[in-house]
Amino acid sequence: MNEIKNKFKTSIAGFQLHNYLFNASGPRCMTLEELIALGESRSSVILSKSCTLLPREGNPEPRYFDLPLGSINSMGLPNLGYKKYVEFAPLLRRYNKPYFVSVSGLSLADNITMISELSEVPEIDAFELNLSCPNVIGKPQIGYDFEQTKQVLDEVMKITKKPFGVKLPPYFDFVHFEEMAKILNKHNIAFVTCINSIGNGLFVDADTEKAVIKPKGGFGGLGGEYVKPTALANVKKFYELLRKDIAIIGVGGIASGMDAFEFLLCGASAVQIATAYQKEGTAVFARIEKEFIEFLEKKEYNSLSEAKGKLKIYE
Ligand SMILES: Cc1cc2nc3c(=O)[nH]c(=O)nc-3n(C[C@H](O)[C@H](O)[C@H](O)COP(=O)(O)O)c2cc1C
């Protein structure tokens, strides 16, 4: 079995990963206990919850709700503050897998402070900059504001030598894909993770006649099966448009080995799991890894590169 597993290893930002999947920033990756559980699981990277300069309690409950085909949440970035994710770094070394920190500053100044400090920590291997997060009041989240995105990336590049990636919100218009790709291609980015939740959905409980979560009048980010086609489209489009040295990490609706394979066909170098991990716990990684490998074996693939980006389309 180990020989088979070795055939399907991948790498991101120069780090060899022991398999194709790891946790997405968000569910169950905030506390040291949760990060240790990821270390002990088959997740091939330990990725932290998105951190801010200061600790945050997040929004009032209920702020997450399991849906039949996924999830809705408006967590409000609860996290322990970036200093804790620095403090945890040496404690996670023994798991022999990369430790990535997700950074989600509430302003450009916050991002600069955090990234400068994270860059000095040898046990932090890379970071994922979350661009699906508000920055300037009255403006959309950074990833939907191309001018701000450019400014943030220009600044970040000046202050770090560590590899970093960006976590993007979903795009729905070809012009937006092209504009964003043009910006990303001009920066020294190691990977792009797409997609973050589809923003501002509303789930209604007809029995109680109530929205299922409390913050923002019930509006929240969607994850799970609802978002998979959008996630696949984003991975495919960025695979076409980005420099070939920028790896694409797919996330959105992955709950089986076959889902992971679909992302491979669209060009993903690795995938992340959020909602299915929230619902199932760390066992999800071993299960999906097994299903993914069995699927590739059944199709007689000998490496990931044979299928990567090879989605067939009608002539
Ligand atoms: C409870 C919850 C919390 C999340 N928090 C974050 C976060 O802090 N940072 C981030 O980049 N994405 C966050 N996300 C988005 C996920 O990482 C992921 O992009 C999205 O849910 C789609 O993946 P999925 O279909 O596997 O859930 C969160 C998602 C959920 C469900």
Tokens encoding 44: 């091939």
| Inter-CA distances, 238 with 79, 157, 253, 255, Å | 30, 21, 18, 22
User: What residue's CA is closest to ligand 1, atom 30?
Assistant: 26
Pairing assessment for the beta strands 70-73 and 64-67 based on DSSP bridges: antiparallel
Give residue 4's pLDDT.
75
Of ligand 1's listed atoms, the one at least distance from the Cα of 104 is: 9
- Which residue in 58, 163, 145 sits closest to 108, CA to CA? 145
Extents of the domains making up the chain: 2-60+81-200+224-298
Measured from the CB, is residue 141 less than 6 Å from ligand 1? no
Q: Model pTM?
A: 0.98
Within 28-107, residue ranges assigned H as helices are 32-40, 82-88
> Is 133 part of the annotated catalytic residue set?
yes
Regions in the chain scoring below 70 on pLDDT: 1, 134-136
Q: Tell me how far the alpha carbon of residue 65 lies from the centroid of ligand 1, in angstroms.
A: 13
Quick check: CB of 44 below 6 Å from ligand 1?
Answer: no
- The string of pLDDT tens digits covering residues 90-114 is 999 999 999 999 999 999 999 999 9
Distance between CA 37 and CA 58 in Å, rounded?
Answer: 23
Helices 228-241 & 174-185 angle (0-180, nearest 10)? 50
The verdict on the CB of residue 230 being under 6 Å from ligand 1 is no
Retrieve residue 249's tokens. 């990490």
What is the distance between the alpha carbons of residues 306 and 199, in angstroms, rounded to a whole number?
A: 34
Nearest CA to ligand 1 atom 4: 26
Which of the four CATH numbers 3.20.20.70, 2.60.40.10, 3.30.470.10, 3.10.450.50 does domain 2-60+81-200+224-298 have? 3.20.20.70
Buried b (16+ CB within 10 A) or exposed e, 223-235: bbbbbbebbbbbb
**Which residue is closest in CA terms to ligand 1's atom 14?**
26
